[in-house]
């Protein structure tokens, strides 16, 4: 009998990693709005997260949920883990509900995607990631540009690989020293870069 899997999306505070039989980073613990969850990490996600997440970070976990045939308990396996800001609940006064102004189109938040597969990591992807995060912090862009660690981008021999969204500008053989120039080129209007 095949296991029935459903997609899940969970948001909460990262509590830490939990060891499995072969890896100290096999599971992550998330304190969601309603409960504490233990989520198994796929190998590709596991490699990206152990240097990226810090206890207390607010994260979104997307993956597959199945039911353990023996215990009947749900089992969660992460396909993607993102560091996010917690959602803020805003009460809407009833007098403004019938407003005639149309809602503004939501612009997508710019992202910098950085490959974290083994070939790119061997060529310096972790250092590139640190350079991106520190440069964004220096320019005051940490809240307005999301850094997303990804799986393979199919350009292994040209790693480390990076893509700037929404322009979909691809960079190969990226060196940490190139990062300030790339960020200034793409995000100069959003900050005091220059």
Q: How confident is the model at residue 103, as a pLDDT?
A: 52
- Decide: helix, strand or coil at residue 26: coil
Superfamily of domain 6-83 in the CATH hierarchy: Nucleic acid-binding proteins (2.40.50.140)
The tokens for 91 are 């009460």
CA distance 76 to 111: 26
Q: How confident is the model at residue 142, as a pLDDT?
A: 86
Q: How confident is the model at residue 107, as a pLDDT?
A: 63
Q: How confident is the model at residue 99, as a pLDDT?
A: 47
DSSP of 36-84: EEEEEEPHHHHHHHTTT--TT-EEEEEEEEEE-TTT--EEEEEEEEEE-
CA distance 72 to 83: 30
Q: How confident is the model at residue 26, as a pLDDT?
A: 86
Binned average pLDDT, 10 residues per bin, the chain of 194 residues: 74 85 83 84 75 80 86 86 65 47 62 89 90 89 88 88 89 92 81 53
CA distance 22 to 36: 23
* Domain limits, CATH 3.40.30.10, in the chain: 108-189
- Parallel, antiparallel, or unpaired for β 74-83 and 27-32? unpaired
Whole-structure pTM value: 0.47
In CATH terms, the fold of domain 108-189 is Glutaredoxin (3.40.30)
**Residue carrying structure tokens 């997307």:** 62
Q: How confident is the model at residue 190, as a pLDDT?
A: 63
Q: How confident is the model at residue 54, as a pLDDT?
A: 79
| Phi and psi, residue 102, nearest 5° | -70, 150
């Amino acid at each position: 009998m095949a296991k029935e899997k459903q997609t899940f999306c969970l948001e909460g505070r990262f509590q830490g990693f939990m060891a499995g039989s072969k890896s100290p980073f096999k599971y992550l613990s998330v304190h969601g709005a309603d409960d504490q969850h233990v989520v198994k990490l796929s190998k590709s996600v596991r490699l990206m997260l152990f240097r990226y997440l810090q206890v207390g970070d607010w994260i979104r976990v997307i993956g597959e949920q199945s039911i353990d045939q023996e215990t009947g308990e749900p089992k969660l396996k992460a396909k993607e883990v993102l560091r996010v800001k917690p959602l803020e609940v805003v009460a809407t006064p009833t007098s403004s509900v019938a407003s005639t102004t149309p809602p503004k189109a939501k612009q997508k938040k710019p992202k910098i995607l950085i490959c974290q597969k083994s070939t790119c990591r061997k060529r310096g992807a972790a250092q590139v990631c640190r350079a991106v995060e520190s440069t964004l912090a220096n320019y005051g862009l940490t809240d307005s540009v999301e850094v997303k660690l990804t799986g393979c981008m199919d350009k292994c021999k040209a790693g480390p690989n990076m893509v700037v969204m929404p322009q979909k500008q691809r960079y190969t053989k990226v060196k940490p020293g190139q990062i300030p120039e790339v960020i200034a080129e793409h995000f100069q209007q959003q900050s005091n870069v220059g």
